[in-house]
Amino acid sequence: MSPADGAAPTVFRESARDGEREAFIARLRGGDRPFRDSDGSWVVSRFEEARAILLDPGRFSSRGPEGGFPLLQDDPPRHTALRGLLQKAFTPGRVEAMRPEIETIARSLAAAIPSGEKIDIVAAFTSPLPVIVIARMLGVAESDRDRFRDWSNRFAGAGAAEGVDEVQALALMEMSAYLGAELAKRRVDPGDDLISALARAEEAGVTLNDNEIISLSVLLLVAGNETTTNLLSNLMNRFAAYPEEWRALRETPALIDGAIEEILRVDSPVQFTVRYARADVEVGGVGIKAGEPVFVYLAAANRDPAKWSDPDTLDMRRERGRQLAFGLGVHMCIGAPLARLEARAGLAALLERFETVRFGEGSRPRTTAALLRGFQRLPLVLA
């Protein structure tokens, strides 16, 4: 989840711009070994190779030449210490304890959607849900939610056709200033929230300066919002295109988990992650030199025909296999249980209230960032 979308190989940028992601994934998957893009980075698209790289931080570093976010772009042992610090807030038990609250938020957002009228499901539902949840976890004022959403959107490059770097940099500055002020408040008056937990890092034997705490808080904000929004938007897009699946879910709610796992697999909200070879290595029959970047293309690995039969077909009843939408190994998404819970609660609330879903008039622009798969806007009519 590199914030620097510009770091993606040229081939990814083209595919994102032309809206030809499907064709691009098919082409990637056609290869039987890692290939080298024109800018010198490697692209790995097969499941087994992707898996092996993610499970091997000893040979493949997450740390780029210019560093990056603490945790996400740290390697063990520092990664291990930072992860331990945050992990407590994201255990299945802690996340499960938030279920009633998340269900209430989802129901109240669903209740505010007018039946039979065209709405943008992104603005009305899929974006606010994760923003409200993470704002509560960070312990920031509910009234600042809109600013959170605006920052997340701008950071993800949503809607910005040009000048994404400047838009991102400005959003990052504003977020950092805001979270810096929140951190100062917590130092005086700590609470039970994530920012206070980070402020107490030293007690857990981790040394973090204020800038690092702020970067970690920013990471939580940007890693969890746009991704979960996209997961829910991709689901709703799917049901507008396949209304019989919506009906099936209303009749058999037990299929909800299968629908979520399958949309994560075929429409992976995070399309790739990057590693750097620590020494000369061989992957799938090609030699990769020390320091060279390797794009682990999760979205292609998730459709590897060697791993799944009929890989492009979304099948809610498919026997679950391990898919890579949340990554794997030491960096595997810490927010995965939360994202799954939000998706489940969100989908259940909409299913409860609406019998049908269809596309509304108007365009459905995809997110422009090559890293992500989702929608800027998705007009729907729910009734």
Positions in the binding site for ligand HEM (CB under 6 A): 1, 62, 71-72, 83, 134, 219-220, 223-224, 227-228, 231, 269-270, 273, 325-327, 331, 333-335, 338-339
**Beta carbon nearer to ligand HEM, 213 or 333:** 333
CA 43/CA 105 separation, integer angstroms: 40
Q: How many helices (H) and strands (E) does the chain have?
A: 16, 10
The residue (of 61 and 356) whose beta carbon lies closer to ligand HEM is 61
In SS3 terms, 23-91 reads as HHHHHHHHCCCCEECCCCCEEECCHHHHHHHHCCCCCEECCCCCCCCCCCCCCCCHHHHHHHHHHHHHC
358, β-bridge pairs = 381
The reply to whether omega before 77 is within 30° of 0 (cis) is: yes
- C-alpha–C-alpha distance, residues 213 and 199, integer Å: 7
In the complex, the smallest distance separating the C-beta of residue 251 from ligand HEM, rounded to whole angstroms, is: 26
Quote the least distance from Cβ 313 to ligand HEM, whole Å.
Answer: 20
Instruction: Report, in Å, the least distance between residue 337 CB and ligand HEM.
Output: 9
One-character DSSP codes across 268-319: -SB--EEEEESS-EEETTEEE-TT-EEEE-HHHHTT-TTTSSSTTS--TTSP
Residue type, 44: V
Q: How many CB atoms lie within 10 A of CB 69?
A: 18
Nearer to ligand HEM, 228 or 237 (CB): 228
| Closest residue to ligand HEM using C-beta atoms | 335
Closest approach of ligand HEM to the CB of residue 13, in Å: 19
CB of 73 to ligand HEM, least distance (A): 8
Residue closer to ligand HEM (CB basis): 71 or 357: 71
Q: What is the DSSP letter of 123?
A: I
With respect to ligand HEM, which residue has the nearer C-beta, 98 or 381? 98
Minimum CB distance to ligand HEM, residue 143 (Å):
20
Residue 8 CB, shortest distance to ligand HEM, in Å, is: 14
| Residue 152: CB atoms within 10 Å | 24
Residue 378 to residue 382: CA distance in whole angstroms: 12
Task: Identify which of residues 1 and 300 has a Cβ nearer to ligand HEM in the complex.
Answer: 1
By C-beta, is 43 or 381 nearer to ligand HEM? Answer: 43
